[in-house]
Each structure stands twice: as C-alpha cells, then as structure tokens.
Chains A and B, each alone.
Chain A
Amino acid sequence: QKEVEQNSGPLSVPEGAIASLNCTYSDRVSQSFFWYRQYSGKSPELIMSIYSNGDKEDGRFTAQLNKASQYVSLLIRDSQPSDSATYLCAGYTGTASKLTFGTGTRLQVTL
C-alpha cells in the first residue's frame, strides 16, 4: 500500500457546487496532514493543514480528518473555475520530518 493515496481524477463539478477530494493513508503516516493546490505549470502551494480528528474550516475550504478510518478529505464550497487545479494530499512519514505526497487529484470546475 502506498503511504498516501488519492484518486487521480479528473473530478468534474459545476460552478457553485461542492467539490469533495479524498485521500487515504497508511499506518506509516503520522497525524499531520496538508492539502496543497498546484495549478498547471506552477509549484504546489499550501492551502490547508489539519492535525486533529474532525473538521477545520477556512473560508470556502473545509479539511476533514478521520484517524479511525485513515482518511483525510478536502471540501470546496461554491466551487469556482479558478479552483480548477490538481490537489495534493500530504502527510508525514516515519520518525523524522519526511513529507510524503499523494499523486494528486485533478479538479475541473465547469461553467
């Protein structure tokens, strides 16, 4: 099993809808998780971090962490065409600070 897994997509949602992005992780991954957004041809940029079980909201974004089921998700409310990008889930593995990324889910927000 890969340490951090994501569905590659593309995930297509209409403008104004809620986009739901999911990520599962293995036992080797610690409990700090991050969501990065990467536009085509650009570098990843951090949009959310979550360390505790439950939900964390920031504007239109909500990160959810479920430690029992080993998954973390990102909800984007009122999706906009500018949200179209690849979303990368990341978590720390091992005892040292080794940030491991999933392969990313491509999101397309259609007009």
Chain B
Amino acid sequence: DAGVIQSPRHEVTEMGQEVTLRCKPISGHNSLFWYRQTMMRGLELLIYFNNNVPIDDSGMPEDRFSAKMPNASFSTLKIQPSEPRDSAVYFCASGEAGPSEKLFFGSGTQLSVL
C-alpha cells in the first residue's frame, strides 16, 4: 500500500487566496483526520471523519476553513480566504475507527501564506 497520500507537498500563496489541500487515505481505513502542526501549538486536530461523515469539527479555527470527504478515498481541506497565520504543516491521517485505533500519517503539506 502506498500509505496516506497528500498533495501538494508545498504550497506558497498570497493572503486572501483560496487554498485546497488533498488527501487520499489508506484503502480500507474508515476514519480520516486533518491535523495542523506549528511550533507554538504542536499538533492540533482540526476535523475528523468516520465513514465519510464529519464527526467532530470543533478544532476548525473559523469559518474560513472547510473540509469534505465525498467518498472513502478522497478528502479536501479548504481555506478561503487564507491568512498568514494559517501558515503551518497540515497533516492528513487515516485509521480503522475504534478505541485502539492507530493512525497513519501522510507526508504533510507545508503551507506558507505571504
């Protein structure tokens, strides 16, 4: 298996632009997580899906952030409009839902908003 695949690896954009991050989870995994990592705040959970349904989006910082999972093999995280404080590494992770769930992370997207 190729693991969790994220694209793009790097994104540089200007403030106010729309940014779309993409994720393909591991086949057969039924949960998907979006995390954001910064030096100051560490790894923060933004939203997670179970069987393509958003379960908890309390970590989404504000209405500028939205996430979708139209099918079991694809998810997007969109920021519109982007701001410099959104600069971070965004990770997607997938797993098999359950209390002993182990997550597998993608390589991340390094986002820089100028």
Contact = CB atoms under 8 A, between A and B. Distances in A.
Interface residues of B, number: 24
Interface of B: 31, 33, 35, 41-43, 45, 48, 50, 55-56, 91, 97-108
Interface of A: 30, 32, 34, 42-46, 49, 51, 88, 92, 94, 96-104
Contacts, number: 57
- Main SS at interface, chain B: strand
B100 A49 contact: yes
A103 B100 contact: no
Given A96-B55, A97-B97, A103 B102 contact: no
B43 A101 contact: yes
Contacts of B97: 97
Given A34-B103, A43-B106, A46-B104, 13 more contacts: A43-B108, A49-B100, A96-B55, A96-B56, A97-B55, A97-B97, A98-B56, A99-B45, A99-B101, A101-B42, A101-B45, A103-B41, A103-B42
